[in-house]
Structure 1
């Protein structure tokens, strides 16, 4: 895998897939190796995907200072990658917890971002996050699923603070539109691909200044896409729409039947939706 050196000396790796205009992709997890993104449902057939392994994940090096796992500290990694690639401005895509990092990058370097695609992404950087009530609302949509009863009992234990690793495994189906063999294999790779120590530090409260970030994006002229899954709870489609309202030029698209990983649930529609958004105005 190609690599570059972050300002603090940490070696960071990235994957390159496909041809065409570059699309810089930031994974979530938080702090999950970028392999889980695959080629984003065939999006690599339309764009050259440049997929970053965040520090301490995948093929990237472990930093000397664990405090640099905090997502605001990783903004310099994204900027170093942009400079390494020689790109004046970037089309930036982020998934899940990667949304926080992408939003912090956009707030700090607004003129470096041409478009921002937030895929079922968190927005704690803007003061918005999912809640237990959101989880319950989305879970209720899955009552007809054969796995619902056991998974929901595990959810209740997690919310009560007594959840175990077994319970976390049991609630995995809630994050996928279809709990088929592909989804099960994808979920099974989560622990192996994730840096748990880094994940605990990633979203430290002092990483965010929502007032400042909202002020920046409110006057930002870049186009923004909020892509939500109909069955996802983080964020719910209506929460994604509320996040979109914080930008001057943002749109929300809800993928029917999709969960938190919409490129797995409906690859064709996912790739077409993102490509159509990126192609606007070119």
Structure 2
């Protein structure tokens, strides 16, 4: 991975050229909480799928995650700052406009990016997020404390225990993640979504208890489509074949 500095924070990223001779539109992928570019997009074959479709694929590790700089002040994880990191990466790579796909927390970041810099986003793909984008602050209550627990066995809530286990599996900095939880918890104003003019695709697993129902989210956007990923929960939906097919069709048909 390469790095660049976004407002004093070192951000790690990779830039993959499309396979074949045709150079097509870039797409930026933003991973979820406690994940990394590799776990979210490489291991699931997303980068391979999109480069084989002829697309330039840019991935990054969000601040506090993966190989990017770890910060311990919750204020450093405001969604506006995390979205600006993506905009600054586009500037660093001289990309004027890109498709943007985010998963879970990455979808929140992508939405904030689109609202702040609509001219930079050709289309927006939201994975692993439904009505909780606007009806909830996002990351579950008690998650910061779960990251700070001395042992995973000390966590009683099953969902929080899953998050902690995932964070340990990605070898995350748990103290940085706790700060991220406290700084990034923010529900978006539903009225703001009507300002998103670009096409939007929303993909959520039918067994995803973390994302919330995507159906109420669709009419809040001007031009949005919802795709259900049958039988998949929050973690297993990420690399699903139906999800990938829907994204490729969406990218191929959007203006």
CA distances 1:254-277 after superposition (whole Å, capped 9, x unpaired): 01122213243x3x3222111111
> Where does 1:204-215 land on structure 2 (aligned, <5 Å)?
204=182, 208=186, 210-211=188-189, 214-215=190-191
Tell me, yes or no, if structure 1 residue 244 matches structure 2 residue 218.
yes
For normalisation by structure 2, the TM-score amounts to 0.76
Q: How does 1:1-282 map to 2 (within 5 A)?
A: 1-7=1-7, 9-17=8-16, 19=18, 20-29=24-33, 31-39=34-42, 40-42=44-46, 43-44=49-50, 45-46=52-53, 47-63=55-71, 67-121=75-129, 126-128=134-136, 165-166=152-153, 171=158, 190-191=167-168, 192-204=170-182, 208=186, 210-211=188-189, 214-236=190-212, 239-261=213-235, 262-264=237-239, 266=240, 268-282=241-255
In structure 1, C-alpha distance between the alignment counterparts of 2:89 and 2:210, rounded to whole Å: 28
Do 1:128 and 1:243's aligned partners in 2 also have CA atoms closer than 8 Å?
no
Determine helix, strand or coil for the equivalent of 2:124: strand
When the two structures are aligned, how many residues end up with a matched partner?
A: 233
Mapped contact 1:99–1:122 kept (Cα < 8 A): no
Structure 1 residues not aligned, in runs of 5+: 133-157, 159-163, 176-186
1:63-102 per-position Cα deviation (integer Å, ceiling 9, x unaligned): 4855312333222211101111212222111111222211
Superposed displacement of residue 232, structure 1 = 1.1
Change (3 A) 1:168 1:17: farther
Query: What CA RMSD, in Å, does the superposition of the two structures yield over aligned residues?
Result: 3.4
TM value normalised by structure 1 = 0.70
